[in-house]
């Protein structure tokens, strides 16, 4: 068992859950089976994150660019998401988890929106961990939307140019509501961010795992945290 230091936990962890498709292809199964197996990993990892005291967990579940995938894969993902929300309701409410969502949520199917919104409001007062699902999410899209809101406020005289600071921009970026991520994990072997948390990732520690998301275990999360704890975060400064 990997040993982690309870005094040096990442406060906010983001996960790019990649590799479902390849997991399924290796087993000669349809990609949707990979997504189904992936949702079992979500269950495991959410439970563990809550247990070890991670305050915020942001999961990249569906990117804005993923809408361009074949229609049957997209609809399978939407059904699985709905099933996940139904089946995890008790787990979320019973464990003090606050559910949130970021992304272009207006594009999500009505049925998904319905369960999602309901569970977000039911769990709104929970404070043990914030679980944010990034859905129809793109980091560039999120920044563009904040820029539009700022331009609008400036145009009507509600915001002066000199007040457009990093903090002001951050306050208009929904994924920043839980603060910048300390650690971003990507499974599936690719070493890129694929439009995840672009604003907040400025000083995030990155951990890339070759493990495909459906096979990512509790032990793998411990390994990622242990790696995080061995790093020296300098934020551009010189450490004495
Ligand atoms: C990640 O797995 C899940 C989503 C993007 C929704 P992929 O479906 O991207 O799996 P690979 O990368 O093709 O293996
Ligand atoms: C990132 O994975 C999106 C999610 C995990 C939801 P992708 O599979 O979409 O990213 P690329 O295409 O490898 O960059
Ligand atoms: Mg992928």
Q: Is 189 within a domain? A: yes
Residue 200 maps to a domain? yes
pLDDT in the model for residue 109: 98
Residue 145 lies in a domain: no
HEC string of the chain?
Answer: CCCCCHHHCCCEEEEECCCHHHHHHHCCCCHHHHHHHHHHHHHHHHHHHHHCCCCEEEEEEEEHHHHHCCHHHHHHHHHHHHHHHHHCHHHHHHCCEEEEEECCHHHCCHHHHHHHHHHHHHCCCCCCEEEEEEEEECHHHHHHHHHHHHHHHHHCCCCCHHHCCHHHHHHCCHHHHHCCCCEEEECCCCCCCCCCCCCHHHHCEEEECCCCHHHCCHHHHHHHHHHHHCCCCCCCCCCC
Report the atom number in ligand 2 closest to the C-alpha of 16: 5
Which residue has the least CA distance to atom 12 on ligand 2? 194
pLDDT tens figures, 100-115: 999 999 999 999 999 9
195 part of the active site = no
Residue 121 has pLDDT above 90, yes or no: yes
Provide the CA 195 distance to its chain's centre, in angstroms.
Answer: 11
Say what percent of the chain tops pLDDT 90: 98
Closest Cα to atom 3 of ligand 1: 18
Task: Tell me what pLDDT residue 3 has.
Answer: 87
Tell the residue nearest (CA) to atom 9 of ligand 2.
66
Specify if 236 maps to a domain: no
Range of the domain at 34: 11-138+182-229
Cα 166 to averaged position of ligand 1 atoms, centre (Å): 32
Model confidence, pTM: 0.98
Determine, yes or no, domain membership for 79.
Answer: yes
For the segment 158-175, the average pLDDT, to the nearest whole number, is 98
The set of protein residues with a Cβ atom below 6 angstroms from ligand 1 is 17-22, 62, 66, 77, 188
Q: Which of 20, 66, 195, 220 is catalytic?
A: 66
Q: Is the pLDDT of residue 184 over 70?
A: yes
Residue 174 included in any domain: no
Nearest Cα neighbor of 75 from 113, 32, 45 is 32
Ligand 2: which of 16, 17, 18, 175 to mutate, most ligand atoms within 8 Å of CB? 18
pLDDT score for 239: 86
CATH value at residue 189: 3.40.1180.10
What are 25-56's pLDDT values in tens digits? 999 999 999 999 999 999 999 999 999 999 99
Looking at ligand 1, which residue's alpha carbon is closest to its atom 13?
A: 21
User: Is residue 16 situated within a structural domain?
Assistant: yes
The total number of structural domains in the chain stands at 1
- Which is the closest atom of ligand 1 to the Cα of 23? 14
Q: Is residue 20 flagged as an active site residue?
A: no
How much is the pLDDT for 1? 61
pLDDT(159) > 80: yes
Domain contains 148? no
Q: Which atom of ligand 2 is nearest to the CA of 62?
A: 6
Residues 221-233, mean pLDDT to the nearest whole number: 98
How high is the pLDDT of residue 227?
Answer: 98
pLDDT digits 0-9 by tens, 49-90: 999 999 999 999 999 999 999 999 999 999 999 999 999 999
């Amino acid at each position: 068992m990997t040993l982690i230091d309870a005094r040096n936990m990442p406060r906010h962890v983001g996960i790019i859950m990649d590799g479902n498709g390849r997991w399924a292809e290796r087993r000669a199964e349809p990609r949707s089976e990979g997504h189904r197996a992936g949702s079992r990993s979500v269950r495991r990892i959410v439970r563990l994150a809550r247990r070890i005291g991670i305050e915020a967990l942001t999961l990249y579940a569906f990117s804005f660019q993923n809408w361009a995938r074949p229609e049957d894969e997209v609809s399978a993902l939407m059904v699985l998401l709905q099933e996940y929300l139904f089946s995890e309701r008790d787990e979320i409410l019973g464990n003090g988890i606050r559910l949130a969502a970021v992304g272009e949520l207006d594009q999500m199917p009505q049925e998904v929106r319905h369960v999602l919104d309901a569970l977000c409001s039911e769990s709104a007062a929970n404070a043990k961990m914030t679980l944010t699902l990034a859905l129809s999410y793109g980091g560039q899209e999120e920044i563009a939307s904040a820029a539009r809101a700022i331009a609008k406020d400036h145009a009507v005289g509600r915001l002066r140019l000199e007040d457009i600071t990093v903090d002001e921009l951050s306050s208009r970026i929904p994924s920043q509501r839980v603060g910048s991520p300390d650690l971003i994990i990507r499974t599936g072997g690719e070493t890129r961010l694929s439009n995840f948390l672009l604003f907040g990732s400025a000083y995030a520690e990155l951990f890339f795992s070759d493990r495909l998301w459906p096979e990512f275990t509790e032990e793998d999360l411990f390994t990622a945290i242990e790696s995080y704890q061995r790093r020296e975060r300098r934020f551009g400064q010189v450490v004495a």
